[in-house]
Amino acid sequence: MFLGVGARRVQELLRGEMEALGMVVRVDAAGNLRGTYAGAAAGESVLLIGSHVDTVPNAGRYDGVLGVAVALGCVRALRGHRLGFAVEVVAFSEEEGIRFKLPYIGSRALVGTLGAAELERVDGGGVSVADAIAGFGLDVKRLGEAGLTPGTVGYLEVHIEQGPVLEALGLPLGVVTGIAGQMQLEVGFRGRANHAGTTPMGLRQDALAAAAEWVGVVERYAAAVPGLVATVGVMQVGPGAANVVPGSAVATLDIRHAEDAVRERAAAELVRAAERAGEVRRVSVTVRELSRQAAVAMDAGMVGVIAGAVEAAGYGVHRMVSGAGHDAMILAGRVPAGMLFVRTPGGLSHHPDEAVAVGDVAVALGAMMRVLEVVSD
């Protein structure tokens, strides 16, 4: 949870690790833990490396946290050696967006896009983002100080793939070229609730039946468009009794693609499909946009350096688009950003059985050290 008890415990643990490595540590006003390992000379540029430390309910142990651990592993591997730039390790306070339905709170603060509207967002208990920050002992009025450290020249993030592609290819690492754009919609079907035993089939206005037909269309449409993924992840049905024809069904639709034009076209087509399913059953359809995020390309120079490091490690270079969102997509708007994926056994993530192979992490650490070496030269 964003700035909850668990967050404090994680930060205490990581702070101890950072301080043991000789890093200067602080928690900024958005709750991000930031540790700086100084370079060879004062006033030099800064390379930001990190990921997030929050997670989803009933999740695994590596989504986000692995990136912070690898970043600290890089600093540890330097063994006191100073580079031509400072390394700042960041453990973002909130990426998943679970508590406030607002992702990337921590990284938004670094790039200056965590404004009044975001601070006023409230959780299920009526607590606002600003309240949560204050409750953690931080001063929201100092949010401006949570910006990027002056002289920051780039951002690197190591993350588990959260998918099955690298495992299928037999590769430990993948080079991320971009992050798919995504859109989330709420699609409501409203018919008429009525007695299940006395309402003839031809006279029903069954909202769930219309929604179910539409879900099938969503699956078939996405399967026919290369690179497109579309998911109906939540369905709320009312009144929710076994002997009542459903009068309402409210569903979420998550659509993602590396090209915004393809995603937008898919959204329009699937909304029309929902309307057609409703018309057949005399069910009204409403659509509300919940979120929208444009596709983001990683910096070509960063991609090249990371690809070279993977190749130097003796592995084939697989360039891939991330279907999941990451803090890197937020940082990319301000500084050159790059991402390195680590193979996810079984392609399983956001699940207690989420895992990584120790050997893959070792390869990732070696590749990251190679990146630091190239950048330092």
Query: For position 4, what pLDDT does the model report?
Result: 78
Please write the tens of the pLDDT for every residue from 199-239.
Answer: 999 999 999 999 999 999 999 999 999 999 999 999 999 99
246 and 155 in a single domain? The answer is no
Do 23 and 101 belong together in one domain? yes
**CATH code where residue 218 lies:** 3.30.70.360
The domain boundary, picked from 269, 293, 317, lies at 293
**Model pTM above 0.85:** yes
Count how many domains the chain has.
2
Full domain range(s) for residue 195: 181-293
How many Å apart are CA 271 and CA 286, to the nearest integer?
Answer: 9
- Which residues lie closer than 8 Å to 285 by C-beta, 6 or more apart? 187, 188, 189, 190, 210, 274, 275, 277, 278
Looking at the structure, tell me whether residues 207 and 352 fall in a common domain. no
Q: Are 288 and 336 in contact (CB under 8 A)?
A: no
- Same domain assignment for residues 229 and 166: no
Token pair 């580079």 in the structure block, residue: 83
Domain end among 293, 310, 339:
293
Would you state the pLDDT for residue 146? 96
In tens, the pLDDT along 317-351 reads 999 999 999 999 999 999 999 999 999 999 999 99
Q: Which positions of the chain have pLDDT values less than 50?
A: none
Nearest-angstrom CA–CA distance, 148 and 330: 12
Residues 90 and 196 in one domain: no
**C-beta of residue 340 within 8 angstroms of C-beta of residue 306:** yes
What single string gives the DSSP state of each residue in 137-178? T--GGGGGGGSPPTTEEEEEEEEE--SSHHHHHT-SEEEEEE
Kindly state whether residues 206 and 107 are assigned to the same domain. no
What is the identity of the amino acid at 254? D
CA distance 157 to 140: 26
Q: What's the chain's length in residues?
A: 377
What is the CATH number for 121? 3.40.630.10
